[in-house]
Chains A and B, each alone.
Chain A
Amino acid sequence: MSTAEPPLLEMRGIGKSFPGVVALQDVSLTVRQGEVVALLGENGAGKSTLINVLSGVFPGYDGTILIDGTPARIHTPTDAQRLGISTIHQELNLVPDMSVADNIWLGREQRDGIGLVNRRSTNASAKALLERVGLTINPRRPVRQFRVAEQQLIEVAKALSLNTRVLIMDEPTSALADAEVRRLFQVIRSLTADGVAIIYISHRIEELEELADSVNVLRDGRWIGARPMAGASRDELIRMMVGRSVADLPRRMPEGRPAEAGPRLRVRNLSLQGDSVSGRVALHHIDLDVHPGEIVGLAGLMGAGRTETLESIFGAFPARAVTGEILLDGKHYQPQSPKHAIDNGIVLVAEDRKQQSLVLGATVRFNTSLAALGRYLRWGWVRNRAERAAVVTEVRRLGVKTPSINTRISNLSGGNQQKVVLAKGLLTQPTVILLDEPTRGIDIGAKSEIYELVNELAAQGVAFLVASSELPELLRMSDRILVLCEGRVTAEMDAETADQEQILEAAMARTSVLAGDGGAA
């Protein structure tokens, strides 16, 4: 990097406080052309606040921002856009019912001579942009029809359509499977080759090792330090992040499980009809067993059918779309509805916390007891005392950090919200727990607490089926891993001996799938 010219972006002494909380204090950051600068820190460390300052979300902040060495004011999102700063937020900003092309050009519609939107050029240019991010989709289809990972790539394409000099990406890979991560990294590299600077936020150090030129660590709203990525050790970065030394979280040590006891959950020949409108992936002849106390992982790329497998068992799909046989403790179980599943001791912790799991306008208490209300009834009335006691016990046991159980759930951090979702399931006293992306978008501390909790419950005999797009997580959590590809099981392996390459190979085993060989490797 040339040091003679001023850096593309320089932030000096940036601070930001909210009523009662100083979110950011004296943070400085320098970004040069074509550089990938990583921001590392736990949830609440101030990463999001920093990028919100940069993208003009806040009208006011302390400190100075220099672009090309001259002071710049960023008080509105338009200011940021004018200065060539684009942000891809973790929560995507797309209009679900508008087409992909219209979303990309939203606010900058291409018009023809008489002022009407020019469909042809809109769609053609959108298609070209989408190809740059490796998406070959029809830009006329509404965004709603795509899964989260694809929508994210659409956002990248939208950012490309702006004259972006600094692209901020907030946890871009949190919803992506590994193959999509590769594709995203390729896109990022081609952007930096064109001179675009990237500010990259992630919890995943292994990604930063591959991608970043330098890494800045934030903790509690303060800038802790910067390291060139090449010389930084993982341990050192983690120590900077958490302020204490944490070795990589240990792998699960399987308990001596009773071999004689039959499986708690046995799935045979499970098939699901796909649905192109809702983007539901079809499943073909899935077989799996989960024993009491066992944690079985489901690996696979985006669209492999992990979520669909869990939701089929949970009864989330119309019964006519699902075929096959499911046995619970050897007894026949036909999934009918989520209510029926819960009555049978099965709970699902769904993929999308805010959309699928929580009533965000309601309190911690309301959300925690929602699925188990039937347990606290007397003469049809909810017994307040019993309900409150159960909620308090569960919330304490899981270490949910909340001022009170009557706090609105939307005021809690992601990790604590996820614990409430778990608490809601646990209050129904399940024997089978289906976890879909159990630690998505939450910090390392909360992650390790959730792993511990899962281990603890497994030791008490609960059977777990865990779907995750993070392979290290699956390897760490599970006893056994099933790999899915295009709705079929392509491999089954012991988590202790499996490695990421093996899993990826099976996850991309399209040829064997196409040959009709759906059996386990």
Chain B
Amino acid sequence: MTGTPPSRPKAPPGSTPENGGAVVPPAPGALRRALPLLGSLQGYIGLVLILIIGIWSQGDHFLSVENFTNAIGYFAPRGILAVGMTLVIIAAGIDLSVGALLAVGGTTAAWLLTEQNWPVVAIVPVCMLVCAVFGLVNGAGTALLKIQSFVMTLAMMTIARGIVREFSNNTSIGTVQIDAAGNVLPGSQQFQKLGTPGTSLFDVPILGYFPVLALVVVVIVFQLILSKTKFGRHIYAVGGNPTAARLSGVNVTAVTIAVFTISGMLAGLAGPINAAYNASADPVAGMGYELDAIAAVVIGGASLMGGRGSVVGTFIGALILTLLDNVLGLNQFSANWQMIIKGIIVILAVVIQRPELFSDLAAWLKRTFRREDGGAEATASATDPLAGDVKSPSEEVPDRDRAR
């Protein structure tokens, strides 16, 4: 049954009577073709727009390496959370616990540094492991106990926050330790390289700054996993149709547990970076970061219904949010206005992503145009009933006369 040479020529696209009615017909007109494309590129367009506004309003300052390093470094922990969130959301879940897990990671790191005097190279993997365990519990609750992930991770958010506050006695742990002579201890110096602005691991601008490096590496690795591995395909299948995935031999339980574990693990990476950036691990750090992460994922083109999205998209979404904050800040907008504008951007991004929005728009334009022509063309050309609602029924009358 395999190796049979293709005996039939491939059918010409959508041309047969059998599928003529069912295949979504190609939309005529360059406008109709161009508009949905615009929708799929909206992330890049948004990014370019923000860059243009930034350069136009605050050119020299905005473009400086220092500004970029600061802006991205500030946002990197949230960006890393967003990568994990992307996998969870593609699998049709949500992870509300990542902000709290970031605090768990940060406090664990600070404790290992100040109380145990561990080297940085050991601290980060251990933090990731600890948070991965929390993620594993999220996954097990979702996949095995069949608790909806919103509920499961909401509970975990509270639990993790409680644990970290109890563990730290509600006080933040400073990560810059000074000896009697007033010098910063070498361990602390190393730790600060994880996130303090102006420090770099090696001599490359921007990329030498650890938060940027970590974010970029995480984005590349998980984008490759998502698009090039069996596991990645299975994530999309689980989010797209779990029944079909299971009957196709996908281990839905394992995939679900894995994405939540990865999400937790990445929170464990973001925690120490965030602590180093702030030079202290606060038990209330990361409050609301999960929402920023979700916003980045959504701007990046994922659907909360699952089955759709990409890490690169999320990265662009995170960049848009970061640079938007930055540009607004440089132009003296207050934090309050930044929040309002960010919210509006999220709504716009989601609306723009609907391809049918543009085809409906094009259909509407076409109809309006035809009407001015005085044409008798009265059939609504949109397949979406909503699109036709704007049209008045009186248009049908000339048609009726023509028919008889």
Contact = CB atoms under 8 A, between A and B. Distances in A.
A366 B233 CA distance: 8
Contact of B17 (A44, A316, A412): A44
A482 interface: no
Main secondary structure of the interface of A (DSSP, over half): mixed
Interface stretch (B155-163, B197-205, B383-391): B383-391
Q: Using C-beta atoms within 8 Å of the partner chain, give the interface range for chain B.
A: 35 or more
Interface in A183-236: 219-221
Given A60-B396, A343-B249, A401 B11 contact: yes
Given A60-B396, A411-B23, A460-B1, A373 B18 contact: no
B403 interface: yes
A428 B245 CA distance: 15
Main secondary structure of the interface of B (DSSP, over half): loop
B27 interface: yes
B6 A19 contact: no
Interface in B232-249: 233-234, 236-237, 240-241, 243-249
A209 B310 CA distance: 54
A359 B19 contact: no
A374 to B, nearest CB: 6
A16 B383 CA distance: 11
A161 to B, nearest CB: 24
- Which of B249, B380, B381, B404: most chain A Cβ within 10 A? B249
B2 interface: yes
Contacts of B18: 42-44, 401, 413, 415-416, 443, 445-446
A64 B246 CA distance: 49
Interface string B191-230: 0000000000000000000000000000000000000111
Nearest to A393: B6
Given A12-B404, A220-B17, A382-B228, A359 B1 contact: no
Q: Using C-beta atoms within 8 Å of the partner chain, give the interface range for chain A.
A: 35 or more
B388 A58 contact: yes
B183 interface: no
Interface string A168-189: 0000000000000000000000
A370 B250 contact: yes
B236 A457 contact: no
B241 A413 contact: no
A339 B254 CA distance: 12
Nearest to A397: B4
B379 A60 contact: yes
Interface in B355-400: 359, 363, 378-383, 385, 388-389, 391, 393, 395-396, 399-400
Given A63-B400, A359-B241, A401-B18, 15 more contacts: A19-B363, A20-B27, A58-B388, A220-B17, A314-B247, A316-B247, A338-B248, A361-B307, A362-B236, A370-B237, A381-B229, A396-B10, A402-B13, A428-B249, A445-B18
Chain A to chain B: the 4 pairs with minimum beta-carbon distance, closest first = A20-B25, A59-B388, A403-B13, A359-B240
22 contacts: A12-B404, A17-B381, A19-B382, A20-B25, A20-B26, A43-B22, A46-B21, A48-B21, A64-B403, A73-B393, A221-B20, A339-B249, A350-B247, A359-B244, A370-B250, A381-B229, A384-B228, A399-B11, A403-B13, A403-B14, A411-B23, A411-B24
Interface of A: 12-13, 15-21, 23, 42-46, 48-49, 57-64, 71, 73, 75, 219-221, 314, 316, 337-339, 341-343, 348, 350, 355-362, 366, 370-371, 373-374, 377, 380-382, 384, 392-393, 396-397, 399, 401-404, 411-416, 424, 426, 428-429, 443, 445-446, 457, 460, 462
Interface of B: 1-2, 4, 6-8, 10-11, 13-14, 16-28, 32, 228-230, 233-234, 236-237, 240-241, 243-251, 307-308, 359, 363, 378-383, 385, 388-389, 391, 393, 395-396, 399-400, 403-404
